[in-house]
Structure 1
Amino acid sequence: MQLLLLLRRSLYWKPLKTFLSHSPLFLIGAVLIAAVATPCYAGTRGKSASIFDLTHSTLSIQAVTGYTYQIIANQDGTFGYDVFADGKLFIHQPTIPAMPGTKGFESKAAAESVARLVLKKLKQGEVPPTVYLEEMKKLNAI
């Protein structure tokens, strides 16, 4: 309280009060400039190959028109899937999601059923899509 009284009596109170009253506008302006400038700078690097660009602590989401999937065979004889967004690799899932370890699905059909579930979630706007053990059990994938 005493500090506030001393501050009010000082010569710096009016400039400080003016700055504090205008600081929300300054803060909003600075955030808008940073929001516009950072993705523009990230785009000039020429290597934005993903839908999510997490470099420089920014998240740039582009509109996706279509998702597709492809079943992949692992070297150990199990299967996984890749999900593509507008033809670009979006998710590479060689293992069973939500399971510890590095084991893939036992069959192509199991991998395909989970890949279709992931596509359904993506089309519903769930990004990133989360696959639960219960869902995979319902699909008889595990």
Structure 2
Amino acid sequence: MKTKKNHACAFFIAAALLIANAAHTQQINNSAATSFNQTQNITTGNYTYKVFQAPNKMYGYDILSNGKFIFHQGASPARPSEFVTALPKKEQAEKAALYSIKKLSENRPAALTREELKKIIAGQKQP
């Protein structure tokens, strides 16, 4: 009889710990998303973009199509890539996101080249 009570008690304690852990994990994920994506969603046609500030005080953006993630432009100046240049201002990241959306609507890849990003940073008009 004691064994059944011990098993039942252990089961309820384990269930309570699992529920508490799931709630805590969800709270951490929600707070991390809120602090990382500090900018509201901007919708243009079927596309939405989110500008975010990275810990290095640079900006990047994500593009979603009908609510599904399709592209991420990082905010790391140290990543060696033809397509990654950190954007130092929020407005530049917004312009880059809009240009990426324009490229997508023309059935071209969303990734901006280093030259395209340099033009946005310099304030030059894109083609």
* TM-score, length-scaled by structure 1: 0.45
* TM-score, length-scaled by structure 2: 0.49
Normalized per residue, the structure richer in strand is: 2
- Rg larger in structure: 1
